[in-house]
Structure 1
């Protein structure tokens, strides 16, 4: 906020005429609106220059880490109504004064204190209204006048919102204890979130690529995101490209970045071979269990690490057994005599033909978990 105030002061103190100052103020407001937009930044940026982009880019910070939004439809309708009922001849400051019911001399002189919108926004702070106006400008519901007088005018897009035919999601601003701490928290949260999206068995490679990005950024004196975004690292870890040509299929990597960093990325990828067990068509959650199994963890340890039930872990193992990826003996923790006992109970109860475990579970006195029985049965099917 202080930066914005300073920029406004510089504009007002410049040697330019009033038209120049108003045009610069509109540009500043558009820039702030872009920063506060809760939707794809690339779409907003292209819209500012009169171009359209049908789908979100999926690669900007907003697409990667969407901000929290609230239903701002009613507030937006009030803000647009204030602009419309005052004749679309005033700027943000004046409109905010009208909404909060401030008895300003100009407002009274224009008899706008008699309008139904006067004081209609007393339940919100002036800063909230200013932020909303910036978001409405960024979203294309309002635009500045062509003469550069700093007034806000409704666009055709505002009509459906005023009629209630569409809703408006307003970016929620959450106060933080401190700028430095907030930045660190966000970076940590973003990295943790991205790591959580990596396919099972690729987490170690993702972390290695993230460490490489940090080293490259430090050497170049750049922020890590300038080297590449987390989404790029996720794709590198999952797709494991083996050549510059395959790197071109990775989001966020063009010819220039590949020329600069491609060899380093490929070097790290080559050094992290994917375990053959994880090259399958099973679900992501099953593969996360298998990845921990590959690390040497038993069923109980996997359940504890993942925070899931032991029976769920055995269910994952059963799917892997049916797919021919692992043997029951390697995951159930039983000796040959115990497995033979279970197999005999299956034969006695016709479990292999029926697929039902209840009879065998009872015949064995309930001493074996249903998940264990499911794994043994999967190998016999």
Structure 2
């Protein structure tokens, strides 16, 4: 059971939840830039939220499967076609053997996700299937996917229904937030003067084109470290905000290095890191400082919101109008006996018009 890649965009990779517990050995987790969006794509297809799926920035490409399957695209609106037929992002659809699925570039975000029922089952490397491009780990040869690659798929339940969210989700994303990007000061905020720390929250930053899965460079405001821009290398995490000699902050993402020698003025709160990473080039935003405890509380609340959205998916109609979908709709309120609903009406005896 395989998925054939007929064409591939430049940033098409296999990602799962990521590999953890290896930072002390210099291995960062990789995994999705936007874990919530990938979780929604997987659950729409009946997979575990952390199953291996495809992440893309720019056009995803075109695909063909050798068995019937379900697929879903999340994280952004995209042009999605099965053959010549347009279908919607944010819900799952059926793809039959021989049909060609084509997925265009994200329209409202930078990173989007394409999941298939059964999940992608390439071999695990260091406990995960996630592709780490910088170190060449996971996926297929640790690289971006390309035409003629064939991806193994896991077992599927062929009669399982396609799903959609019970309520429309803005941007085909399970979570929607706005406002300043929340930031926790440190661990080297003491390298910066009080004036520079004030600029951190009083000034506006912009998203520059210098970005990939490892980091994104911010513009609009530069920062200067009074104690210098070099430190003895210490640990970094996704969300670390490093300030090099250029003064242009670097925000580390999923493929971040595990140590770094630039002072870290702050760390993006985990609740907001994906939101920042999804901002298009040229977007403007501000930071707001919060405490570590507040960041933890916000993250726990966000995880609860995500669980609620994933638990609230409902069956959507297929082109065949499957009985499991029809019976879930209560089409004629008060009647729940399918035989009673479908029983043909018998003509009245006696001949004349009814």
- Fold match by TM threshold 0.5: no
Q: Between Structure 1 and Structure 2, which shows a larger proportion of strand residues? A: 2
* Max Rg structure: 1
Normalising by structure 2, report the TM-score: 0.28
Higher relative contact order (CA 8 A, sep 6+): 2
